[in-house]
Structures are given as C-alpha cells and as structure tokens.
Homo-oligomer: A and B are copies of this chain.
Amino acid sequence: MSIRRIQASARFCEVSVHNGVAYFAGQVPETTVAQNAYAQTKEVLELIDNLLAEIGSHKSRILNAQIFLANMQDYAELNQAWDEWVDRANPPSRATVEAKLADPRWKVEIVISAAV
C-alpha cells in the first residue's frame, strides 16, 4: 500500500499518509516564537488545521495528540488555546509531558495522527 508524503524535505516530511491514517511531524511555532505559550499553541494548532486540510482531513478526525511542553507551568495556557480549538464533540486522545525542545524559543510541540 502506497505512502503519500506531504511537504517533504530531504530530512523529513510534515505528514505521511498510509492506509487511511496520517502521521504528523512535530508541529512547532514559526511566527510566534517570541510570544507566550497560548499564542504559540494557537499557531501550532493552525498549522495542524492547514495540514489536515491539505490531506482532506479535519480536526474532528484527529486520533491522538502527543504534546510536549518546554515548561509544564504553561499547561494552563496550552489548555486555553486547546479548548478554544478542539472539536468538543470529537476530541482525540491526548498525552502531555514536559520536554526541552530543539529551539529554546519554542514552548510547545504537538504531534498528532489523524484519520483521512
């Protein structure tokens, strides 16, 4: 069964799609790196929305989310942006842990998989 790869560079792709499931790269802030965790999370979720649209899926079809926070003290800000965004009738499973991220300005990184 074939694999579709979205926005592939030589190092990684943003999404792999195989057998009706999409496996996302860790999404991180791009334009909001100087802002707080709420703003960064909002941007990351918009990036996810855009990628979901590109593969013909939607946030109501997300299966799970692995969230990495650079500082667990940002948990409330993460949840504020998440709760404003998530499809409340179709929320994914979720896990959130603290981990230092590749760029010290990043406060949040989110990895999802979704049904396509």
Q: Is A93 an interface residue (CB 8 A)?
A: yes
Closest chain B residue, CB of each to CB of A10:
B88
Q: Is A32 an interface residue (CB 8 A)?
A: no
**Chain copies in the assembled complex:** 3
Q: What are the residues of chain B within 8 A of A66 when measuring CB–CB?
A: 66, 95, 111
Q: Is A34 an interface residue (CB 8 A)?
A: no
Total count of chain A residues near the partner, CB < 8 A: 51
Is B115 in contact with A97, judged by CB distance below 8 angstroms? no
Chain A interface residues toward B at CB < 8 A: 1, 3, 5, 8-16, 18-21, 23-26, 61-66, 68, 72, 75, 79, 82-83, 86, 88, 90-102, 109, 111, 113, 115
